[in-house]
Amino acid sequence: MEWEITYLTESVQQTIENWPMGVRAVYTRITDRMKTHGPNLGMPFTRSMGSGLFEVRARGAEGYGRAFFCTVIDRRIIVLHAIIKKTDKTPLQDLETARARLKEVRHENP
């Protein structure tokens, strides 16, 4: 049984669709693998960010894409936030956005 990948909002999906072609191609290969084998592919494809938040690590010639996601019951992966990294470290503001959206999906009070 395959995993389903959904996007929290249309704008998250649109962000990924606007990524540079090489980064988007790597993202597509990784998410195709996630649909078949599940979200825990490990480095260098996915990484745990703690507390149920994970990231897809898409590296292309044009840069580094990060798509933050969580998993829910019934083999669903929800992409919460996506960015193109400009620095070595993921910006704290983007991590906070992803964590807030994770709480929203889990119906937790902020």
Read off the pLDDT of each residue in 2-29 and give the average, rounded to a whole number: 97
- CATH no. of 4-105: 3.30.2310.20
Residue type, 64: Y
Residue 108: pLDDT band by 50, 70, 90 thresholds?
Answer: low
Chain segment 24-71, per-residue pLDDT in tens: 999 999 999 999 999 999 999 999 999 999 999 999 999 999 999 999
- 89 — pLDDT class (breaks 50, 70, 90): confident
Q: Dig out the tokens for 55 from the structure.
A: 């990231």
What pLDDT shows up at residue 90? 87
pTM (two decimals) = 0.92
- Does position 109 have pLDDT exceeding 80, yes or no? no
Residues above pLDDT 90, as percent of the chain: 85
How far apart CA 1 and CA 48 sit, in angstroms, is 23
* pLDDT score recorded for residue 88: 81
Q: Identify the pLDDT of residue 82.
A: 97
Rounded to whole angstroms, the Cα distance separating 22 from 25 reads 5
Instruction: Report DSSP letters for the chain, one per residue.
Output: ---EEEESSHHHHHHHHTS-HHHHHHHHHHHHHHHHH-S---TTTEEEEETTEEEEEEEETTEEEEEEEEEETTTEEEEEEEEEESSSSPPHHHHHHHHHHHHHHTT---
Both structure tokens of 71 = 């998993």
